[in-house]
Structure 1
Amino acid sequence: MMSLTDPSLAVVVRKQIQFKMKSCIGMFSTLIVLQLIALVFSFGGTGMMGGTRSSLEYEMNYYSADIILVFTMLWAFINAILIKTKDYREDDFVFVTNRVSSNLSNIVLLLIVSIVGAITAMLSSYLLRIGIYFFSDNKEIIYTEVEFLELLTGIIAAGLFIFLFSGLGYIIGTLVQLNKTFAFIIPVVFLGFIFLVEMSSEVHLLLEIGKFYFNEESFWLLTSKTIMTSGLLFTAAMLVSNRLEVKQ
């Protein structure tokens, strides 16, 4: 029986987000497990330097939450692909929905999980400090004090990177949904393009891309780059999804 009420797009999207948040609890459980694994790897340090001066020999190990952040970005990337699989897509049809509301609810969901992932990744650095204090054999431990504004900026930057990787996963998941052969074509084209660029111009493409984003010193430029790139990825995914057959 059809309802005489025509729900607005905002209402439909909001209901879909609420439903998906409840059905994706396992996603957050996976995040916790992966971040704990990354935390263990982080005890090995992310950098080291040493030297000698007169009869003194010293060695310095650097610790950070970088490995945890990398694991979190991979988690977002994989989940963005999975959210476009058949099992997840069919959840949308519990509601009166269309491609636009489905994509918008997915994007907002990925934004929410990116924020949660960024907060837990950045706060895990304090858990890392506690672990180093109790389990490290180092005689001298120097902590870098982090002010609240610096922590907030770090969380925002981490969230933007996680959201960027989720956008990359989302467009790949959408292309695979359009045609299954893209699951094989995309890796081949990607690796082949990198190989051709490096062979023809001796430019390390992945390294240059990494520098373009991760070596940006200006917070506002970094924000602009990640938001624009994420926006392009999600927009492309929505345009591709419009080519898909509408479920009757």
Structure 2
Amino acid sequence: MSLIEVNLPEIVKKQYLFKLKSYNRIFSSMVVLQIVGILFSLGGTGGGGGGSNNIEYKVSYYSSTTVMFFTFLWAFISAILLTTKANRFDDFSLITTRVCSHLSNFLILLTASILGGLSFFLSGFLLKLIIYFFVNRLVYTGEGYVPLDFLIGITSSVLYVLLFCALGYVTGTLVQLHKGFILLLPGLYIGLIIWGDNNRFVRILKNITEFFTTEQSIILFGIKVIITAGMLFAFAIAISNRMEVKQ
């Protein structure tokens, strides 16, 4: 019998540092996708123009919405990749349990959420700089930012990315539980598009979306996301406990 006492926090810490080095491709892919999103955003999201008294003007609207889409997609897919069998097998090279593995994965996704949310928020300013210096257009940014606006913007971006990480982690765990979910989940998504607003489930899904996107208080929004993400991760842990060892 070993006299060494197993320390859960220490094991989780070692696994987290190990995965942080092993999964660095996750963060490099984030940079690539956000650069692609910025390049797509250079075309603008709309605009208009007019003129009078021999003066003509043209207005173009730019936003980091495309970067946001790519960041959320990256978060969702990266979380799924953490649940694959190949990545789970890496945990068996260390002394671990499924709880330790899930906790270290959660820390990886939390780190990814912080980096992804921060870079996504700052990409809007980078886009304006690129347009100003290289597209040769005057840039009007609206009202100025105050430090509180930066804090709220970064916090909300991180929380949104964390929410998509949690959704991806649950999706990946379901697929590992039964391969039928590979066809079921995309089929469900396509069905929602076909049915439209006439389907009750679609209306429920819209209400859930509005539950997060229409919240005005950053504190309440944070509470909503943290509780939801915690429930999703707990659900993923409960699902994985039904799997056989090294399944």
TM-score, with length taken from structure 1: 0.88
Checking the alignment, whether the CA contact within 8 Å between 1:21 and 1:109 is kept in structure 2 is: yes
Q: CA offset at residue 14 of structure 1?
A: 0.7
Corresponding position of 2:161: 162
Checking the alignment, whether the CA contact within 8 Å between 1:171 and 1:237 is kept in structure 2 is: yes
What one-letter code is carried by the residue in structure 1 that aligns with 2:141? Y
1:28-49, CA deviations, whole angstroms, 9 ceiling, x for partnerless residues? 1111111110011111223435
Checking the alignment, whether the CA contact within 8 Å between 2:110 and 2:162 is kept in structure 1 is: yes
Shift of the 56–232 alpha-carbon distance from structure 1 to 2, 3 Å rule, reads: farther
For structure 1, which segment, 46-55 or 140-149, has the greater mean C-alpha deviation from structure 2 after superposition?
46-55
1:193-230, CA deviations, whole angstroms, 9 ceiling, x for partnerless residues? 56557334596565544433223222122212222221
Q: CA offset at residue 20 of structure 1?
A: 0.3
What one-letter code is carried by the residue in structure 2 that aligns with 1:229? T
Checking the alignment, whether the CA contact within 8 Å between 2:128 and 2:139 is kept in structure 1 is: no
What RMSD, in angstroms, separates the aligned Cα atoms of the two structures?
A: 2.6
Shift of the 50–223 alpha-carbon distance from structure 1 to 2, 3 Å rule, reads: farther
Query: What is the CA–CA distance in structure 1 between the aligned matches of 2:213 and 2:108, rounded to whole Å?
Result: 24
1:70-108, CA deviations, whole angstroms, 9 ceiling, x for partnerless residues? 211110100100111111101111211111111111111
Query: What is the CA–CA distance in structure 2 between the aligned matches of 1:151 and 1:45, rounded to whole Å?
Result: 23
Shift of the 201–152 alpha-carbon distance from structure 1 to 2, 3 Å rule, reads: same
Query: What is the CA–CA distance in structure 1 between the aligned matches of 2:201 and 2:56, rounded to whole Å?
Result: 39
Query: What is the CA–CA distance in structure 1 between the aligned matches of 2:56 and 2:224, rounded to whole Å?
Result: 43
Checking the alignment, whether the CA contact within 8 Å between 1:194 and 1:205 is kept in structure 2 is: no
- The alignment-based identity, stated in percent, is 43
Checking the alignment, whether the CA contact within 8 Å between 2:12 and 2:103 is kept in structure 1 is: yes
Q: CA offset at residue 192 of structure 1?
A: 3.2
Say which SS state the counterpart of residue 47 (structure 2) adopts: strand
Corresponding position of 2:198: 199
Query: What is the CA–CA distance in structure 2 between the aligned matches of 1:23 and 1:54, rounded to whole Å?
Result: 63
